A = this chain, B = another copy of it.
Amino acid sequence: MTFPFDPRPGTLVLPQPYILFVGDTREAGYAKTAFGLRDWAGDKCVGECASDEAAVTTGLPRMSPAEGAALGARSLIVAVANSGGYIPQSWIATLIEALEAGLDIVAGMHSRLSEIDELADAARRLGRRLIDVRTPPPGLTVATGAKRSGKRLLTVGTDCALGKKYTALALTEGFVARGIDADFRATGQTGIMIAGEGIPMDAVIADFEAGAAERLSPDAAPDHWDVIEGQGSLMHPAYSGVSLGLLHGSQPDVFVLCHEPGRTGLLGLSSFELPLVEDMIALTITLGRRTNQAIRCGGLSFNTSAFSQEEAERLMAAESDRLSLPVADSMRRGAAFDRLIDNCLREA
Protein backbone atom coordinates (compact mmCIF):
# COMPACT_ATOMS: atom_id res chain seq x y z
CA MET A 1 0.00 0.00 0.00
CA THR A 2 1.24 3.46 -0.83
CA PHE A 3 0.32 6.74 0.78
CA PRO A 4 -0.62 10.01 -0.79
CA PHE A 5 2.16 12.51 -1.23
CA ASP A 6 2.47 14.35 2.04
CA PRO A 7 4.26 17.63 2.64
CA ARG A 8 4.11 16.85 6.40
CA PRO A 9 5.53 13.37 6.99
CA GLY A 10 3.44 11.33 9.40
CA THR A 11 0.17 12.98 8.35
CA LEU A 12 -2.34 11.31 6.03
CA VAL A 13 -3.65 13.51 3.23
CA LEU A 14 -6.65 12.22 1.27
CA PRO A 15 -7.43 13.00 -2.40
CA GLN A 16 -10.51 15.27 -2.58
CA PRO A 17 -13.28 15.72 -3.57
CA TYR A 18 -14.92 12.42 -2.74
CA ILE A 19 -17.72 10.23 -3.94
CA LEU A 20 -19.37 8.46 -0.99
CA PHE A 21 -19.89 4.72 -1.33
CA VAL A 22 -22.86 3.33 0.63
CA GLY A 23 -22.62 -0.27 -0.63
CA ASP A 24 -25.77 -2.30 -0.18
CA THR A 25 -26.30 -1.13 3.42
CA ARG A 26 -29.97 -0.76 4.32
CA GLU A 27 -29.55 0.16 7.99
CA ALA A 28 -28.87 3.82 8.69
CA GLY A 29 -26.88 2.85 11.80
CA TYR A 30 -24.15 1.40 9.60
CA ALA A 31 -23.94 4.57 7.51
CA LYS A 32 -22.83 7.00 10.25
CA THR A 33 -19.63 7.82 8.37
CA ALA A 34 -21.62 8.69 5.24
CA PHE A 35 -23.96 10.99 7.17
CA GLY A 36 -21.03 12.58 9.01
CA LEU A 37 -19.28 13.30 5.71
CA ARG A 38 -22.46 14.73 4.21
CA ASP A 39 -22.99 16.99 7.25
CA TRP A 40 -19.42 18.14 7.82
CA ALA A 41 -17.71 17.80 4.46
CA GLY A 42 -20.63 18.20 2.06
CA ASP A 43 -18.66 20.67 -0.05
CA LYS A 44 -16.03 18.00 -0.62
CA CYS A 45 -18.53 15.34 -1.80
CA VAL A 46 -19.69 15.29 -5.42
CA GLY A 47 -22.28 12.58 -4.79
CA GLU A 48 -22.92 9.07 -3.54
CA CYS A 49 -22.72 5.69 -5.18
CA ALA A 50 -24.13 2.31 -4.19
CA SER A 51 -23.72 -1.33 -5.15
CA ASP A 52 -27.46 -1.88 -4.69
CA GLU A 53 -30.19 0.60 -5.57
CA ALA A 54 -32.01 -0.08 -2.30
CA ALA A 55 -29.09 1.02 -0.12
CA VAL A 56 -29.42 3.88 2.39
CA THR A 57 -29.03 7.35 0.94
CA THR A 58 -27.31 10.49 2.18
CA GLY A 59 -29.55 12.56 -0.07
CA LEU A 60 -26.58 13.51 -2.26
CA PRO A 61 -27.08 12.80 -5.98
CA ARG A 62 -26.58 9.15 -6.77
CA MET A 63 -24.14 8.39 -9.58
CA SER A 64 -21.70 5.86 -10.98
CA PRO A 65 -17.97 6.13 -10.12
CA ALA A 66 -17.33 7.31 -13.71
CA GLU A 67 -19.96 10.04 -13.36
CA GLY A 68 -18.34 11.08 -10.06
CA ALA A 69 -14.92 11.20 -11.69
CA ALA A 70 -16.33 13.36 -14.49
CA LEU A 71 -17.54 15.80 -11.79
CA GLY A 72 -14.00 15.99 -10.41
CA ALA A 73 -14.02 13.31 -7.68
CA ARG A 74 -10.53 12.01 -6.91
CA SER A 75 -11.42 9.23 -4.49
CA LEU A 76 -14.27 6.97 -3.49
CA ILE A 77 -14.77 6.67 0.27
CA VAL A 78 -16.17 3.48 1.74
CA ALA A 79 -18.55 5.38 4.01
CA VAL A 80 -20.53 2.49 5.45
CA ALA A 81 -19.81 -0.58 7.50
CA ASN A 82 -21.41 -3.97 7.47
CA SER A 83 -21.90 -5.91 10.66
CA GLY A 84 -18.59 -7.77 10.32
CA GLY A 85 -16.41 -4.75 9.57
CA TYR A 86 -15.19 -6.27 6.31
CA ILE A 87 -15.67 -5.60 2.58
CA PRO A 88 -18.29 -8.05 1.28
CA GLN A 89 -17.95 -9.65 -2.14
CA SER A 90 -21.04 -7.77 -3.35
CA TRP A 91 -19.17 -4.44 -3.14
CA ILE A 92 -16.11 -5.47 -5.13
CA ALA A 93 -17.45 -4.85 -8.64
CA THR A 94 -18.31 -1.22 -7.83
CA LEU A 95 -14.97 -0.66 -6.11
CA ILE A 96 -13.09 -1.97 -9.17
CA GLU A 97 -15.30 0.22 -11.35
CA ALA A 98 -14.10 3.17 -9.25
CA LEU A 99 -10.44 2.24 -9.72
CA GLU A 100 -11.08 1.93 -13.44
CA ALA A 101 -12.68 5.39 -13.44
CA GLY A 102 -9.39 6.76 -12.10
CA LEU A 103 -10.43 7.10 -8.45
CA ASP A 104 -8.39 6.08 -5.41
CA ILE A 105 -10.29 4.17 -2.71
CA VAL A 106 -10.29 5.29 0.94
CA ALA A 107 -11.50 3.07 3.79
CA GLY A 108 -11.03 2.50 7.48
CA MET A 109 -12.62 -0.87 8.06
CA HIS A 110 -11.28 -3.70 10.12
CA SER A 111 -10.18 -5.66 7.06
CA ARG A 112 -7.73 -3.79 4.88
CA LEU A 113 -8.39 -2.97 1.25
CA SER A 114 -4.95 -4.15 0.21
CA GLU A 115 -5.63 -7.60 1.64
CA ILE A 116 -8.37 -8.20 -0.93
CA ASP A 117 -6.49 -9.69 -3.89
CA GLU A 118 -8.92 -8.49 -6.58
CA LEU A 119 -8.65 -4.90 -5.34
CA ALA A 120 -4.90 -5.03 -4.84
CA ASP A 121 -4.41 -6.42 -8.36
CA ALA A 122 -6.71 -3.85 -9.95
CA ALA A 123 -5.07 -0.96 -8.05
CA ARG A 124 -1.62 -2.12 -9.18
CA ARG A 125 -2.72 -2.57 -12.78
CA LEU A 126 -4.41 0.84 -12.89
CA GLY A 127 -1.84 2.75 -10.83
CA ARG A 128 -4.43 3.71 -8.21
CA ARG A 129 -4.06 3.89 -4.42
CA LEU A 130 -5.87 1.92 -1.70
CA ILE A 131 -5.70 4.21 1.32
CA ASP A 132 -6.42 2.87 4.79
CA VAL A 133 -7.10 5.71 7.24
CA ARG A 134 -6.40 3.37 10.15
CA THR A 135 -2.72 3.14 9.16
CA PRO A 136 -0.48 6.03 10.18
CA PRO A 137 2.02 6.90 7.49
CA PRO A 138 5.74 6.52 8.22
CA GLY A 139 7.94 9.38 9.38
CA LEU A 140 6.66 9.93 12.92
CA THR A 141 9.16 10.80 15.65
CA VAL A 142 9.43 11.29 19.40
CA ALA A 143 7.97 14.54 20.80
CA THR A 144 10.25 17.45 21.65
CA GLY A 145 7.91 19.31 24.00
CA ALA A 146 8.93 22.56 22.28
CA LYS A 147 6.29 25.29 22.43
CA ARG A 148 4.57 26.02 19.11
CA SER A 149 3.05 29.28 17.91
CA GLY A 150 -0.71 29.71 17.44
CA LYS A 151 -3.63 28.72 19.68
CA ARG A 152 -4.94 25.22 20.34
CA LEU A 153 -8.12 23.72 21.73
CA LEU A 154 -8.47 20.02 22.54
CA THR A 155 -11.74 18.20 23.26
CA VAL A 156 -11.34 15.68 26.09
CA GLY A 157 -13.86 13.29 27.58
CA THR A 158 -15.09 11.31 30.54
CA ASP A 159 -15.39 8.30 28.18
CA CYS A 160 -15.26 7.23 24.52
CA ALA A 161 -18.02 7.89 21.98
CA LEU A 162 -19.79 10.81 23.61
CA GLY A 163 -19.14 13.68 21.21
CA LYS A 164 -15.47 14.71 21.17
CA LYS A 165 -15.31 14.75 17.36
CA TYR A 166 -18.69 16.38 16.96
CA THR A 167 -17.84 19.05 19.54
CA ALA A 168 -14.52 19.85 17.85
CA LEU A 169 -16.26 20.18 14.48
CA ALA A 170 -19.04 22.38 15.92
CA LEU A 171 -16.52 24.60 17.72
CA THR A 172 -14.43 24.96 14.55
CA GLU A 173 -17.57 25.96 12.66
CA GLY A 174 -18.45 28.43 15.41
CA PHE A 175 -14.96 29.94 15.44
CA VAL A 176 -14.95 30.34 11.66
CA ALA A 177 -18.44 31.91 11.76
CA ARG A 178 -16.92 34.60 14.00
CA GLY A 179 -14.23 35.30 11.45
CA ILE A 180 -11.52 33.40 13.28
CA ASP A 181 -8.93 31.46 11.32
CA ALA A 182 -9.43 27.92 12.63
CA ASP A 183 -8.71 24.36 11.51
CA PHE A 184 -10.29 21.13 12.70
CA ARG A 185 -7.49 18.61 13.38
CA ALA A 186 -8.57 15.01 12.97
CA THR A 187 -7.28 12.13 15.11
CA GLY A 188 -9.65 9.30 14.15
CA GLN A 189 -10.92 7.63 10.99
CA THR A 190 -14.13 9.56 10.38
CA GLY A 191 -12.50 12.82 11.41
CA ILE A 192 -9.67 12.24 8.95
CA MET A 193 -12.16 11.61 6.14
CA ILE A 194 -14.04 14.81 7.06
CA ALA A 195 -10.91 16.95 7.31
CA GLY A 196 -9.23 15.24 4.37
CA GLU A 197 -6.13 14.80 6.51
CA GLY A 198 -5.01 13.84 9.99
CA ILE A 199 -3.32 11.14 12.03
CA PRO A 200 -5.09 8.04 13.42
CA MET A 201 -3.74 8.55 16.93
CA ASP A 202 -4.78 5.17 18.32
CA ALA A 203 -2.75 3.36 15.65
CA VAL A 204 0.52 5.21 16.30
CA ILE A 205 3.46 3.47 18.03
CA ALA A 206 3.21 4.43 21.72
CA ASP A 207 6.65 6.07 21.77
CA PHE A 208 5.58 8.46 19.00
CA GLU A 209 2.12 9.33 20.38
CA ALA A 210 2.93 12.81 21.67
CA GLY A 211 5.24 13.37 18.70
CA ALA A 212 2.37 12.62 16.33
CA ALA A 213 0.18 15.11 18.22
CA GLU A 214 2.90 17.75 17.87
CA ARG A 215 2.99 17.15 14.13
CA LEU A 216 -0.80 17.29 13.80
CA SER A 217 -1.01 20.91 14.95
CA PRO A 218 2.18 22.58 13.72
CA ASP A 219 3.36 26.16 14.25
CA ALA A 220 0.75 28.63 13.06
CA ALA A 221 -0.04 32.35 13.03
CA PRO A 222 -0.44 33.77 16.56
CA ASP A 223 -4.22 34.21 16.24
CA HIS A 224 -4.86 30.92 14.42
CA TRP A 225 -6.75 28.18 16.29
CA ASP A 226 -6.30 24.46 15.83
CA VAL A 227 -9.35 22.64 17.21
CA ILE A 228 -8.15 19.11 17.92
CA GLU A 229 -10.41 16.06 18.06
CA GLY A 230 -9.83 14.25 21.35
CA GLN A 231 -9.56 10.48 21.81
CA GLY A 232 -10.54 8.21 24.69
CA SER A 233 -10.24 9.51 28.24
CA LEU A 234 -7.45 10.00 30.75
CA MET A 235 -9.48 7.75 33.05
CA HIS A 236 -10.20 5.00 30.52
CA PRO A 237 -8.45 1.74 31.53
CA ALA A 238 -7.67 0.86 27.91
CA TYR A 239 -7.17 4.17 26.08
CA SER A 240 -5.70 6.54 28.67
CA GLY A 241 -2.24 6.36 27.11
CA VAL A 242 -3.58 7.64 23.80
CA SER A 243 -5.39 10.47 25.62
CA LEU A 244 -2.36 11.57 27.63
CA GLY A 245 0.02 11.47 24.66
CA LEU A 246 -2.50 13.55 22.71
CA LEU A 247 -2.84 16.03 25.60
CA HIS A 248 0.91 16.49 26.09
CA GLY A 249 1.65 16.74 22.38
CA SER A 250 -1.28 19.05 21.60
CA GLN A 251 -0.23 21.59 24.26
CA PRO A 252 -3.77 22.99 24.36
CA ASP A 253 -4.43 26.51 25.64
CA VAL A 254 -8.05 25.53 26.17
CA PHE A 255 -9.82 22.21 26.56
CA VAL A 256 -13.53 21.43 26.43
CA LEU A 257 -14.68 18.46 28.48
CA CYS A 258 -17.22 16.24 26.69
CA HIS A 259 -19.62 14.20 28.80
CA GLU A 260 -22.89 12.32 28.53
CA PRO A 261 -25.10 12.96 31.58
CA GLY A 262 -26.94 9.83 32.60
CA ARG A 263 -24.28 7.46 31.32
CA THR A 264 -23.25 5.63 34.48
CA GLY A 265 -20.58 3.17 33.36
CA LEU A 266 -17.91 3.32 30.68
CA LEU A 267 -19.04 2.15 27.25
CA GLY A 268 -18.25 -1.55 26.97
CA LEU A 269 -16.63 -1.55 30.45
CA SER A 270 -19.72 -0.86 32.52
CA SER A 271 -18.14 -1.98 35.80
CA PHE A 272 -16.07 1.23 35.62
CA GLU A 273 -18.00 4.28 36.81
CA LEU A 274 -17.80 7.43 34.75
CA PRO A 275 -15.36 9.83 36.39
CA LEU A 276 -16.78 13.06 37.84
CA VAL A 277 -16.52 16.04 35.50
CA GLU A 278 -14.84 18.19 38.20
CA ASP A 279 -12.19 15.48 38.72
CA MET A 280 -11.57 15.27 34.98
CA ILE A 281 -11.15 19.05 34.75
CA ALA A 282 -8.63 19.09 37.62
CA LEU A 283 -6.71 16.10 36.23
CA THR A 284 -6.57 17.55 32.72
CA ILE A 285 -5.16 20.81 34.11
CA THR A 286 -2.61 19.00 36.32
CA LEU A 287 -1.31 16.94 33.40
CA GLY A 288 -1.79 19.52 30.65
CA ARG A 289 0.26 22.15 32.51
CA ARG A 290 3.33 20.07 31.77
CA THR A 291 3.45 21.33 28.19
CA ASN A 292 1.27 24.46 28.52
CA GLN A 293 1.30 26.32 31.83
CA ALA A 294 -1.66 28.42 30.67
CA ILE A 295 -4.05 25.54 30.00
CA ARG A 296 -7.63 26.20 31.14
CA CYS A 297 -11.06 24.64 30.80
CA GLY A 298 -13.20 26.50 28.27
CA GLY A 299 -16.35 24.72 29.39
CA LEU A 300 -18.27 21.49 28.97
CA SER A 301 -19.99 19.91 26.00
CA PHE A 302 -22.85 17.64 27.07
CA ASN A 303 -24.38 14.97 24.89
CA THR A 304 -28.01 15.33 26.02
CA SER A 305 -29.59 13.23 23.27
CA ALA A 306 -31.36 11.12 25.91
CA PHE A 307 -33.15 14.18 27.37
CA SER A 308 -35.95 16.49 26.21
CA GLN A 309 -34.97 20.04 25.26
CA GLU A 310 -36.40 21.33 28.52
CA GLU A 311 -34.70 18.69 30.68
CA ALA A 312 -31.44 19.24 28.85
CA GLU A 313 -31.57 23.01 29.38
CA ARG A 314 -32.35 22.65 33.07
CA LEU A 315 -29.57 20.11 33.55
CA MET A 316 -26.96 22.18 31.68
CA ALA A 317 -27.92 25.38 33.53
CA ALA A 318 -27.56 23.62 36.88
CA GLU A 319 -24.15 22.21 35.98
CA SER A 320 -23.03 25.56 34.62
CA ASP A 321 -23.93 27.21 37.95
CA ARG A 322 -22.28 24.47 39.97
CA LEU A 323 -19.01 24.54 38.00
CA SER A 324 -18.97 28.26 37.06
CA LEU A 325 -18.29 27.24 33.46
CA PRO A 326 -20.38 27.32 30.29
CA VAL A 327 -22.15 24.02 29.59
CA ALA A 328 -23.69 23.46 26.14
CA ASP A 329 -24.79 20.68 23.83
CA SER A 330 -23.02 21.15 20.51
CA MET A 331 -25.89 19.39 18.71
CA ARG A 332 -28.53 21.71 20.21
CA ARG A 333 -26.38 24.86 19.90
CA GLY A 334 -28.26 28.01 20.97
CA ALA A 335 -27.21 30.68 23.49
CA ALA A 336 -25.37 28.20 25.74
CA PHE A 337 -23.17 27.15 22.86
CA ASP A 338 -22.39 30.81 22.09
CA ARG A 339 -21.31 31.28 25.71
CA LEU A 340 -19.08 28.22 25.41
CA ILE A 341 -17.43 29.70 22.32
CA ASP A 342 -17.09 33.08 24.07
CA ASN A 343 -15.32 31.49 27.00
CA CYS A 344 -13.00 29.41 24.82
CA LEU A 345 -11.95 32.49 22.87
CA ARG A 346 -11.63 35.01 25.71
CA GLU A 347 -8.19 36.32 26.58
CA ALA A 348 -6.77 34.01 29.23
Contact = CB atoms under 8 A, between A and B. Distances in A.
Interface of A: 142-145, 201-207, 209-211, 234-235, 237-246, 248-249, 269, 271-272, 283, 286-287, 290-291
Given A202-B206, A206-B206, A244-B244, A145 B238 contact: yes
Contacts of A248: 237-238, 240-241
Contacts of A245: 206, 240-242
Contacts of A143: 237-238
A233 to B, nearest CB: 10
Given A143-B237, A283-B286, 20 more contacts: A142-B238, A142-B239, A144-B237, A145-B269, A145-B271, A201-B206, A202-B206, A203-B207, A205-B206, A206-B242, A210-B239, A235-B287, A235-B290, A237-B249, A240-B248, A241-B243, A241-B244, A241-B246, A241-B248, A242-B245
Most chain B CB neighbours (cut-off 10 Å) among A206, A235, A240: A206
A241 B290 CA distance: 13
Given A240-B245, A283-B286, A205 B207 contact: no
Contacts of A240: 210, 244-245, 248, 287, 290
What is the interface of chain A mostly: helix, strand, loop, or mixed? helix
A286 B235 CA distance: 10
A326 to B, nearest CB: 26
Contacts of A209: 206, 241-242
Contacts of A142: 238-239
Contacts of A202: 205-207
Nearest to A210: B238
Contacts of A291: 237
A201 B201 CA distance: 17
Nearest to A203: B205
13 contacts: A143-B237, A144-B238, A144-B269, A145-B271, A202-B207, A205-B205, A205-B206, A206-B206, A207-B239, A207-B242, A209-B242, A241-B245, A244-B244
A61 B295 CA distance: 58
Given A244-B244, A283-B286, A286-B283, A237 B207 contact: no
Most chain B CB neighbours (cut-off 10 Å) among A142, A201, A203, A239: A239
Contact of A203 (B144, B206, B234, B249): B206
A220 to B, nearest CB: 19
Given A145-B269, A204-B206, A241 B242 contact: yes
